Chain A
Amino acid sequence: MTTFDTALVGASSQPPHFQQFSNLVRYGVAGLMAVIGALALIFDFPFAQLGVFQPMMYALGLVVVCLVIDVPFRKLNYQLGMIGVYLFGAAAAWVAWYSGGNWLSQDAADFIWKVTALFSFLFTIAAGVWNAPFKNFAAKTAAIPMMYIVLFAFIGCSLWTVLYSTSDARIYPLYTYVGLKQYYRLFGAEIWHIAVKNVLIYIALSTTGAMVAGFLLAVFMDQKIRLEGLFRTIYLYPFALSFIVTGHVWAWIFSPEYGLEKSVRQLGWTTFSFDWIANNDMAIYCVIIAGLWQGTGLVMALMLAGLRGIDEEVWKAARVDGIPKWRTYISIVIPMMRPVLITTLVFVAAGAFRVYDIVVALTDGGPGISTTVPSQYVYKYLFSGNIGQGLAAATTMLVVSAVILIPWVYVEFVKGKQIR
Chain B
Amino acid sequence: MARKQSTRRTVAITILAWFIGLLMFFPILWTAVAAFKSESDAYTLPQNMLSTPWTLENFGIVQERSDYFRYVFNTVIIAVLSTLLGLLFAVPAAWSMAFAPRTTPSSTISGWGWLAIVFSCGLIAAGVLYANGWHPQNAVVGFLLLLLCIVPPTAWVWTRATTDTLLWMLSTKMMPPAGALIAIYLMFNRNGLIFKDWGWINLSEYNLIDSFWGMVPLAMLLNLPIIIWMLYTYFKEIPVEILEAARMDGASLWNEIVRVLTPMALPGIASTCLLNLILAWNEAFWSLNLTNKYAAPLSFFISEYSSPEGQFWAKLSAASLMAIVPILIVGWFSQKQLVRGLTFGAVK
Q: Is the CB of B174 within 8 A of A258?
A: no
A29 at the interface (CB under 8 A from B): no
Instruction: Give the chain B neighbours of A123 by CB distance below 8 A.
Output: 153, 157
> How many B residues touch A, CB cutoff 8 Å?
124
Q: Is the CB of B194 within 8 A of A173?
A: yes
Which of B55-63, B64-72, B179-187, B262-270 lies at the interface with chain A? Answer: B179-187
Point out which of B13, B141, B225 has the most chain A C-beta atoms below 10 A from its C-beta. B141
A14 at the interface (CB under 8 A from B): no
Complex CA gap A146/B146 in Å reads: 19
Q: Known contacts A240-B278, A248-B306: does B137 contact A175 (CB below 8 Å)?
A: yes
- Interface residues of chain A, those whose CB is within 8 Å of chain B, are 8-9, 52, 76-77, 85, 88-89, 92, 95-96, 98-99, 101-105, 107-108, 111-112, 115-116, 119, 123, 132-136, 138-140, 142-161, 163, 171-175, 177, 217, 220-221, 223, 225-227, 229-250, 252-253, 258, 263, 266-267, 293, 296-298, 301-302, 304-305, 346-347, 350, 353-354, 356-357, 361, 374-375, 378-379, 382-383, 387, 390-391, 393-395, 397-398, 401-402, 405-406, 409, 413-414, 417
Complex CA gap A234/B252 in Å reads: 45
B92 at the interface (CB under 8 A from A): yes
Chain B 337-348 against A: per-residue CB contact (8 Å), 1 yes, 0 no? 011001100111
Q: Is the CB of B193 within 8 A of A230?
A: no
Instruction: Enumerate B76-95 residues with CB–CB distance to A below 8 Å.
Output: 89-90, 92-93, 95
Q: Known contacts A105-B138, A237-B24: does B182 contact A353 (CB below 8 Å)?
A: no
Q: Is the CB of B24 within 8 A of A297?
A: yes
Q: Is the CB of B195 within 8 A of A154?
A: no
Complex CA gap A5/B27 in Å reads: 68
Q: Is the CB of B28 within 8 A of A150?
A: no
Complex CA gap A375/B172 in Å reads: 17
Q: Known contacts A157-B181, A401-B175: does B162 contact A143 (CB below 8 Å)?
A: yes
16 inter-chain pairs at a CB distance below 8 angstroms, sorted by A residue, are A89-B149, A108-B141, A123-B153, A139-B99, A139-B100, A142-B257, A143-B165, A151-B152, A156-B183, A229-B335, A231-B17, A241-B28, A244-B299, A248-B313, A248-B317, A394-B182
Partner of B92, one of A76, A143, A151, A246: A143
Point out which of B20, B252, B281 has the most chain A C-beta atoms below 10 A from its C-beta. B20
Partner of A233, one of B146, B175, B302, B338: B338
Instruction: Give the chain B neighbours of A146 by CB distance below 8 A.
Output: 89-90, 92-93, 166, 169, 224, 228
Interface of B is mostly: helix
Q: Is the CB of A305 within 8 A of B343?
A: yes
With A140-B157, A140-B162, A297-B24 known, 14 other A-B pairs at CB within 8 A are A85-B153, A104-B138, A133-B106, A149-B89, A150-B172, A160-B183, A161-B180, A233-B335, A248-B313, A250-B27, A302-B346, A354-B177, A378-B182, A387-B186
Q: Is the CB of A147 within 8 A of B221?
A: no
Q: Is the CB of A241 within 8 A of B327?
A: yes
Q: Is the CB of B194 within 8 A of A245?
A: no
Q: Is the CB of A172 within 8 A of B193?
A: yes
Instruction: Give the chain B neighbours of A136 by CB distance below 8 A.
Output: 100-101, 103, 161-162
A303 to chain B minimum Cβ distance, whole angstroms, is 10
Instruction: Enumerate B119-140 residues with CB–CB distance to A below 8 Å.
Output: 134-140
Instruction: Enumerate B166-215 residues with CB–CB distance to A below 8 Å.
Output: 166-186, 191-200
Q: Is the CB of A112 within 8 A of B347?
A: no
Q: Is the CB of A102 within 8 A of B196?
A: yes
Complex CA gap A333/B273 in Å reads: 34
Q: Known contacts A357-B284, A413-B164: does B178 contact A177 (CB below 8 Å)?
A: no
B152 to chain A minimum Cβ distance, whole angstroms, is 6
Q: Is the CB of B142 within 8 A of A108?
A: yes
Instruction: Give the chain B neighbours of A226 by CB distance below 8 A.
Output: 10, 14
Q: Is the CB of B169 within 8 A of A237?
A: no
Q: Known contacts A105-B138, A145-B93, A398-B175: does B28 contact A161 (CB below 8 Å)?
A: no
Instruction: Enumerate B142-158 residues with CB–CB distance to A below 8 Å.
Output: 142, 144-146, 148-153, 155-158
Q: Is the CB of A263 within 8 A of B289?
A: no
Q: Is the CB of B176 within 8 A of A103?
A: no
A44 to chain B minimum Cβ distance, whole angstroms, is 18
B47 at the interface (CB under 8 A from A): yes
Point out which of B93, B172, B343 has the most chain A C-beta atoms below 10 A from its C-beta. B343
